[in-house]
Amino acid sequence: KGYCYMPSSGKLNPDHPDIVHDLAHPGEPRSLPGLILAAIIRRRERNLPPFSVMSCDNMPENGHVTRNVITQLAERHNPALAEYIQAHITFPSTMVDRIVPAMTDAAFDTLAERLGSRDPVAVEAEPFFQWVIEDNFVNGRPAWENAGAELVSDVLPFEEMKLRMLNGSHSFLAYLGFLAGYEHISDCMADASYRAAARALMLQDQAPTLRTQGVDLEAYADSLIARYENRAIKHRTYQIATDGTQKLPQRLLDSARWHLRNGTSCDFVLLGVAGWMRYVSGVDEQGQAIEIRDPLKDQLADIVANSEDGAPRVKALLSLNAVFGDDLQQQPAFVSRVTQLYQQLVKQGARATVQSLVTQG
């Protein structure tokens, strides 16, 4: 959210309130791109060496997105400044993989008992971790490889594998699991249909879209399922379901576009999209209100309030160009299948719909 960008394109959102402010008051930045740009300007004015800007956020080509928003903001200030950034600043991409649930009071209490004191910034995490970094720095870097990081020339294949297979299945389980009443990802894994659906999404729908070489994707999928089963990690479906407008493009929609181009089906991906639409409609299957946490929650609420449930709701949500771009709503096969799955979720519920798709697949 802090990048002030449009997830559908990866470009700067010039209408973001903080960007509008920073363009008018560059010396008093409010946004992340504005703050970094101010630092670049100050160092340049003082003849200090340029630096590299490394994103560690969970989105594809995060270095490219960072470069886009900062250089596009600079271009609006001064084209010469944008040229300086392109020539002298690098933006390494990274991929980080570790399941880290949001901390709870119970987790803080457990840790305090073990430590003998309270740590207000502690996090809990699974044993597994992977950190892949594009080795592209202008003035040296710490020896992160000594701590287990992988320094590579191209992070994108690792990013896509993780974002689509892990994060994509996480989002699928978050929306459809929450709707079915499952509080945690490990609860979803106790349901044979959800477990089978997550694995099918990874291997049938996501794996064919990847550019990884020399990676056993079936073994990777099995390792992800095993990680999801870890009941010591209380990873809430509601937590993963937040900020869906920022997550959906890279986790599910990029794969949907690949399948549309290649004329292949991806029903589990499309069910994940329909699950998001059912979730942001704001009422669960028990009739209880869902508190939507998303940077576009006001727009989502307006769309839901002004659309009839069913096909009109799907059409209205697909018109959200910041998420779906302007292409997916023009794809009849995509629109038709997402609409069918959404209507099935409304009529039959999430659990029955997932079970039905697994049986068909």
Following DSSP, what letter does each residue of 222-237 receive, concatenated?
A: HHHHHHHT-TTS--BH
3-class DSSP state for residue 130? strand
* Residues 229 and 313 reside in one and the same domain: yes
Q: What is the pLDDT of residue 213?
A: 78
Q: What is the pLDDT of residue 101?
A: 85
DSSP character for 288? P
Assign 10 a pLDDT band (cuts: 50, 70, 90): confident
Q: Is the pLDDT of residue 8 over 90?
A: no
Residues 228-231: contacts with CB under 8 Å, at least 24 apart? 228/173, 228/185, 228/186, 228/188, 228/189, 228/198, 229/186, 229/189, 230/99, 230/126, 230/186, 231/184, 231/186
* Residues 317 and 205 reside in one and the same domain: yes
First and final CA of the chain: distance in angstroms? 36
Domain contains 343 = yes
Residues 67, 339: Cα–Cα separation, whole Å: 36
Burial class (CB within 10 angstroms; exposed 0-12, middle 13-18, buried 19+) of 326: exposed
Sign of CA dihedral 290, 240, 173, 205: positive
* Residues 180 and 70 reside in one and the same domain: no
Domain contains 106 = no
Q: How many domains does the chain have?
A: 2
* Residues 60 and 162 reside in one and the same domain: no
CB atoms within 10 A of CB 133: 23
Assign 232 a pLDDT band (cuts: 50, 70, 90): confident
Q: Is the pLDDT of residue 164 over 90?
A: yes
Domain contains 142 = no
Residues 314, 205: Cα–Cα separation, whole Å: 22
Residues 249, 256: Cα–Cα separation, whole Å: 9
* Mean of pLDDT values over 217-243: 94
Range of 67's domain? Answer: 5-92
Give the lowest-confidence range in 47-51, 232-236, 262-266.
232-236
* Residues 356 and 209 reside in one and the same domain: yes
* Residues 203 and 320 reside in one and the same domain: yes
* Mean of pLDDT values over 205-221: 92
Burial 103-129 (b: 16+ CB within 10 A, else e): beeeeeeebeeeeeeeeeeeebebeee
Domain contains 126 = no
* Mean of pLDDT values over 195-202: 98
Top-confidence residue, 99 or 175 = 175
* Residues 227 and 351 reside in one and the same domain: yes
Summarize the chain as % helix, strand, coil (round to 5).
60, 5, 35
The pLDDT tens digits for 289-302 are: 999 999 999 999 99
Domain contains 88 = yes
Q: Phi and psi of 302, rounded to 5°?
A: -65, -40
The answer to whether the beta carbons of residues 221 and 199 sit under 8 Å apart is yes
The answer to whether the beta carbons of residues 281 and 260 sit under 8 Å apart is no
Percent of the chain past pLDDT 90, that is, above it, reads: 87
HSE at residue 300, side-chain half, CA atoms within 13 A, is 22
Residues 339, 309: Cα–Cα separation, whole Å: 11
Domain contains 229 = yes
Residues 173, 220: Cα–Cα separation, whole Å: 18
Residues 25, 316: Cα–Cα separation, whole Å: 36
* Mean predicted lDDT score pLDDT of the chain: 95
* Residues 68 and 167 reside in one and the same domain: no
Top-confidence residue, 212 or 283 = 283
* Residues 160 and 87 reside in one and the same domain: no
Domain contains 33 = yes
Q: What is the pLDDT of residue 49?
A: 95
